Structure 1
Amino acid sequence: MAADADPALETLFLPFVEGRLAWPEGGVLFLRARDGWPLHRQPTHGLVCEQTFKPDADALQRSGLTVCNDGALADAADGELPAQGKRYPLVLLLPPRQRDESRALMARALDQCAPGGRVLACVANNEGAKSAEDDLRRVAGAVSTLTKNKCRVFWTTPRSAPPQADAETLIAQWRGLDRIRPVADGRLHSRPGVFAWDRVDPASALLVEHLPADLAGRAADLGAGIGYLGLELLARCPRITALDLYEAEARALELARRNLQPCGDRVALGFHWHDVTSGLPAAYDVIISNPPFHAQGRAERPDIGRRFIAAAARALRPGGRLWLVANRHLPYEAVLHEHFGAVRDVATRGGFKVVEAVRGR
């Protein structure tokens, strides 16, 4: 069971703790579920957790909870329910920060709420709680609210009270807000909610600009996102023979698979829904990475990048090369020098740094 404090998760369950709501018979769907002690302080029979972020999904499974991710991977433009196709008397939701993704997820929650059932959501105040509550009210009618832990939990029984006149139209629009679409002048496909979803982020662009053409052999992209770095590596380095993409967010990994599909007839491609911080299962000649430095919250997490670097060092063959881009202020130098025989700064621009590190022989 996760031990870290999670104010939003704790506040989400406040209506049940205070006796305002009862846990229903017939099953509960928890969208963007996270593990934590509030999930385990009272019986939660029939709970199905949906989570596409690998570390959170693994934590839920370690706690013995039922976990799926297939619903969130479906193209929202299809308007389909997850594979199980079930409607639930209660749908719990931790809406994401990205507004379009949040609204699309609310539409899904309403679609999967059984007649007479409830949708219940919680958002931190500094991540748009009031706006999220207003969004749910617009499409579902009257909303009840509690606040605690600098968070707001709000719930509704859809259509139990008249929603705004345009509610059905809005729900139909919101279903498709996170649909897959072309970005970057049509070169890539993306969707709201994934990292830098509608653009090529400047850090990745800086790394691509400095990738040397002599990189060769089996390569890996750690934290691959929608596949931009991998695609550029293959375009610029013709001696790469295989590429494995590791990504913790399944929604992004499915996009990477789509974006790199044209390269599959040239090199062997592997797509891995994987938490890089747990290590890598194979050996490589080249690793590229723009590692994340946030988890699911706003706080900086440089420890994630350090663990990416350590995992890369263990997976590289002697003489193997790591090409890394990161924010200049992130303290990665110590772990780089600890794990690699040679480290050099290649470029700095716009607050970012590109580093090459070579594993000693």
Structure 2
Amino acid sequence: MPAGQTDPALETLLLPFADVLLSWPGEGGALFLRAREGWPLHQQALPGLVCAQSFRADALALEQAGFTLVDDEADDGRRYPLVMVLPPRQREESRALFARAIARTAPGGRVLACVENNEGARSAQDDLARIAGAVANLSKNKCRVFWTAPLQGAADPALAAQWATLDAPRQIEGGRFTSRPGVFAWDRIDPASKLLVSHLPADLAGRAADLGAGFGYLTAELLARCPGINTVDLFEAEARALTLARANLAGQQSRAALDFRWHDVTAGVGSGVYDVIVTNPPFHTQGRADRPDIGRRFIAVAAEALKPGGRLWLVANRHLPYEAVLSETFGNVRTVAQSDGFKIVEAIKAMPTRTPSPDTRAAGKAALRRGRY
């Protein structure tokens, strides 16, 4: 994790080893689902640790720290004496992850998990106990870490099999889109995105980017409403969402060139590349507190990525303080609409200021002397 940041759930997850309540596996290694990088992973040797993480920024941090990454949804048949989990907030996704954790545990192995108290720690512990049997627990840092006894499979195999499919992709909006639990606004069209779409002008044209594309809704509507759009690059940090976007836009490949990029927008997306950018930027990370700095960074990245005269169409919660960065980075900014707690903004990148050539300046001075100005 970046210097100065803390991750109490990650720190608490590893307390049973620091307190010698559990021993790190001598052989066979460990699988860490929804893994995050941070100093607690470097306090002791963790031989054989492999990590699974579908969020790009976290996955990249783990790779840069030297950890091996695997796909938690692609079962390679390997079983581990320890499977660690940092469960997500969405309950169906969390239950499915617990079921997968048990399925990836070797006979006699354990599942170990940790959740912050205000993110549903007790409910998560109870969920794991329902399919794994009795669990032990330890509380610290306003978190709860809990772990199973040595397992011989699920204590309730039928329930575990049911839970394993709880976050499976499914159709929404009458079959128009495929989504799944855990993806942003997974079971509906987000009202902010819907409001943005209702104000998109038909004259948007050229090469476009969708920053934080989710399961592809904004791109689908951009292509439907703006015939001049010929290319869309979709940037999405959550691999699970990007896979859905590929499926949802498969029928649009003949309509426009589409490129699906598993990418953290805050790292930048290029300079002077796009004619149009649409975005409903995120303003939360792991916790519930507002993170307007993320949205401000999306706006700054959009300003850099647009060509001069390029247009940003943005939707955000009305209370989020984006006006300063919009004014600083764009030549023309207007609030198109405000409704139901949201605001729609169009921002146009300024054209470069041209410096007159020496010949032009000399001609202008001569004309001034002749009294033409």
* TM-score for the superposition, normalised by structure 1: 0.94
SS of aligned partner of 1:214: coil
> 1:168 maps to which residue?
157
In 1, Cα distance between the equivalents of 2:296 and 2:127? 38
Distance 2:72 2:246 in 1: 18
Alpha-carbon distance, 1:130 to partner: 0.6
Cα shift at 1:281: 3.1
| Distance across 1 between alignment mates of 2:124 and 2:117 | 10
More deviation, 282-291/218-227? 282-291
SS in 2 for 1:185: helix
Structure 1 segment 1-361 matched on structure 2, within 5 A: 2-3=2-3, 4-24=5-25, 25-68=27-70, 70-72=71-73, 82-157=74-149, 159=151, 163=155, 167-281=156-270, 283-361=273-351
Q: CA RMSD in A?
A: 1.3
CA–CA distance in structure 2, aligned partners of residues 161 and 260 of structure 1: 39
SS in 2 for 1:205: helix
How far apart are the structure 2 equivalents of 1:338 and 1:299?
Answer: 25
**Structure 1 residue 158: deviation in Å?**
5.1
Give the Cα separation in 1 of the matches to 2:99 and 2:131.
8
Q: Deviations over 1:223-267 (max 9, x none)?
A: 000000000000000110000100000000000011011100111
How far off is 1:83 after superposition? 4.8
Letter in 2 for 1:183: I
Q: How many residues align?
A: 348
Q: In the aligned structure 1, how far is the partner of 2:166 from the partner of 2:235?
A: 26
Q: Which runs of 5+ in 2 are unaligned?
A: 352-373
For residue 159 of structure 1, report the CA deviation from its aligned partner.
4.0
> How much does 1:330 deviate?
0.5
Deviations 1:176-233 (A, max 9, x none): 0000000112110000000000000110000000000000000000000000000000
Match of 2:315, as an amino acid?
Answer: V
- Who wins on radius of gyration, i.e. which is larger? 2
1:12-32 CA distance string (max 9 Å, x none) = 001000001011021100000
Task: Tell me the TM-score normalized by structure 2.
Answer: 0.91
Map Cα deviations across residues 269-308 of structure 1 (whole Å, 9 max, x no partner): 0000000011013610000000000112212111110110
Residue type of the partner of 1:15?
P
Answer yes or no: is the 8 Å Cα contact 2:167–2:180 preserved in 1.
yes
Q: Distance in 2 between matches of 1:216 and 1:341?
A: 19
Q: Does the 8 A contact of 2:31 with 2:84 survive in 1?
A: yes
Give the match for residue 77 of structure 1: none
Q: Deviations over 1:96-117 (max 9, x none)?
A: 0100000000000000000000
Structure 1 residue 160: Cα displacement: 6.2
Q: Within 2, Cα distance between the matches of 1:49 and 1:86?
A: 13
Deviations 1:30-85 (A, max 9, x none): 000001111110001111010000111111112111123x334xxxxxxxxx2532
User: Retained in 2: the 8 A contact 1:141–1:160?
Assistant: no
1:337 counterpart SS class: helix
Report the AA paired with residue 268 of structure 2: G
Distance 2:151 2:252 in 1: 48
The letter for the 1-side match of 2:8 is P
Q: CA deviation at 1:128?
A: 0.8
Q: Structure 1 residue runs of 4+, over 6 Å off?
A: none
Cα distance, 1:161–1:20 mapped onto 2, change above 3 Å: farther
What is the Cα deviation at residue 320 of structure 1? 0.2
Give structure 1 stretches of 5+ with no counterpart. Answer: 73-81
Instruction: State the alpha-carbon separation in 1 of the partners of residues 10 and 107 from structure 2.
Output: 25
Worse overlay, 41-50 or 59-68 = 59-68
Q: Mark the CA change 1:149 to 1:95 in structure 2 (over 3 Å): closer, same or farther.
A: same
